[in-house]
Structure 1
Amino acid sequence: MYFYLIDEAERQAITFQGPDREARLVPPESTLVSAGYVIPPGSAVERMGVHGIDTDGEEFHGQPFTRTFVYGYDAGRLIFLEPMIALDYLRSRPDATLPVKTPAAYSIPGDYPGRYRVAYTPATDEYRVELLDLRPFPASPAKTL
């Protein structure tokens, strides 16, 4: 589930080909990266961004992948939040509320989650992914291409 902080036109313009490649791969300031997160080489995806991952995730410690929280970047800006959830985990019909490791700042000021919930509701046969405990964060100085 991607929650983009930029508009669709900006997202569609993200490319890691051509003359803007190096500018788009500029790493974000440390204030935009949560503790325990890394941005591995090769994580840039066209029309998405560069993915920052939580090294504390179970999948990096001998466990199967179930769910994690990913941050996305472009040209050093934090541009998306992504609760990434495995289909098998959803099929288990979870009801889990999990912490979100938050950075010190975001590229765009606003209210951002401290937790997220993944839940199945049998009465309506629905799955919900919710961002919870929204609280205000300042913006970090903007980078430009």
Structure 2
Amino acid sequence: MTTDVDTPPTIKEELNRKTLESLSEMANSHDKGMMSDEAFYQSLTAINLVTCGLIDDDVTDWISEHASQNGEPVVMRRVFRTKGMLVIMKRVMTEDSFVMTKISDGGEPKDSVKSFEDADDPTKTSHVAYLKLISQLLERGFVEV
């Protein structure tokens, strides 16, 4: 019989652990004055871009909370392509909406704002909808570029 101790962590669990360890080290360095506000923000942005959609929501929320305390909020931007169309998804992590821009080959960009201001938890609802729409794009054959 296998116990929890014998079971190796999943990739997601390991990514969460490593992300949290990195965030903790960065926060400690920032708090001690060993890392500037700008370097801290840039590091948070880089970690967010690498781990977006791959880590637990509470870790993403921590990144959002700390990034917004240091000037500008974290912006998630992902680009997808299929034959004849480019889709750019942009979400400011502290806001209750996101923008989807569609560009057909040779056409003008068309923005569509998805707002969740009336939801019980607008920011979280926006985040979940953002990730769901990305999943739907991938299922429809879009490729992330």
Q: Same fold (TM over 0.5)?
A: no
Structure-1-length-normalised TM-score? 0.29
| Larger-gyration structure (1/2) | 2
Which has more helix, going by share of residues? Answer: 2
Which has more strand, going by share of residues? Answer: 1
